[in-house]
Amino acid sequence: MALALTTVPVAFAGTASAQTIRVSYVTAADHPYGIGVRKFGEIVEAKTGGKIRVRGFPSGQIGAEVPSISAAQGGILEVAVTSTAAVSGVDKAFGVFDLPYIFASDREADAILDGPVGTEMLRRLESKGLVGLCFWEAGFHQVTNSRRAVKGLDDFRGLKIRTIQNPVMIDAVNALGSNAVPMPYTEVYTGLETKAIDGQTGTYPLIFANKIFEVQKYVTEANLFYAPVAVLMSKKFFDSLSPADQAIMRDACAEARTTEREANRALSPEALKQMRAAGLESNVLDAATTAAIKEKLKPVVDKHMKGIDPEIVATLQTELAKLGQGSAAPAK
């Protein structure tokens, strides 16, 4: 991957000719990420009169999330569309979005990410060689596995559940009595197929697009995590643009954000419907079980809250309170 990136000419190296923005993302091209990238490209190309073009690289073609972030920081990739879980490796404060049950609804997530909290989080990245253009979404994580229907807290016990290499998510899965197995997403299908792991967490569109349902028997709607997506531009590339073109980048991301979120939210129920038709058994956790899970996860939240900038936590709690949620902690 590093060789592939370093051998591609850097589009912005001191030229006033037409430029190409390469956008790296890990999902299939027909996933909402891809839809968002195409919309972003249409807007950028239209508003710059074709002076700047956008080319998407789906399915991790030029790198998984963490390497793509590093490439953007180093100025050899223009844009990385990535989970905030991966961004927490750059700034630990992004770990606040990894906390289980941090948001109760799409409405809450949109208000926080598009408001003061999200704005401040993106601003912090500029000192890390990145410009956060805006937030998109992957959505709420559900739990799939091949062993049994998860209907109660005890049903999590002993399941080998894949997570990304993220301390909050690893601790959360382990706290439920499962065994967290960190693994790159590109290896998940094979891991499930060979029974190296029993299950994984993911959104309905992601489970569907990557055909995870082919090697799983059960899916439980748990809404365990909400997954924001950060659209990150190389600061080196951003700084090479004129102020007008910089504004176009931010505006295009925001306009594409609406398209991406709408596509994701429309696809979720349709993806579940098609997966059920293919034989995947589904259930929804009841309120009592969800409350028990939140209580079980409270020590995980308390532990990881301590490592996050107190000002970010305070602002998040204030904004959630305005929306009717008393605290960022899941027990509330």
pLDDT in tens, 34-88: 999 999 999 999 999 999 999 999 989 999 899 999 999 999 999 999 999 899 8
Phi, psi of 180 (to 5 degrees): -70, 135
Predicted structure pTM score:
0.87
Say whether both 134 and 26 belong to one domain: yes
Residue 1 pLDDT exceeds 50: no
> 98 in a domain, yes or no?
no
Residue 324 pLDDT exceeds 90: no
pLDDT in tens, 101-129: 999 999 999 999 999 999 999 999 999 99
Say how many domains are in the chain.
2
Say whether both 221 and 232 belong to one domain: no
Mean pLDDT, all residues of the chain: 91
CB 252 within 8 A of CB 21: no
Say whether both 123 and 220 belong to one domain: no
Residue 178 pLDDT exceeds 80: yes
Which residues constitute the domain of residue 205?
142-225+271-322
Percentage, residues of the chain above pLDDT 90? 81
Q: How far is CA 65 from CA 109, 122, 252, in A?
A: 22, 17, 22
What pLDDT sits at residue 184? Answer: 80
The model's confidence at residue 7, banded by pLDDT at 50, 70 and 90, is: very low
Q: Once rounded to an integer, what is the mean pLDDT over residues 123-138?
A: 97
As a whole number of angstroms, the distance between CA 5 and CA 20 comes to 14
Residue 297 pLDDT exceeds 80: yes
Whichever domain contains 170, its CATH number is 3.40.190.170
From 145, 140, 317, 284, select the one nearest 225 (Cα to Cα).
140
What pLDDT sits at residue 77? Answer: 98
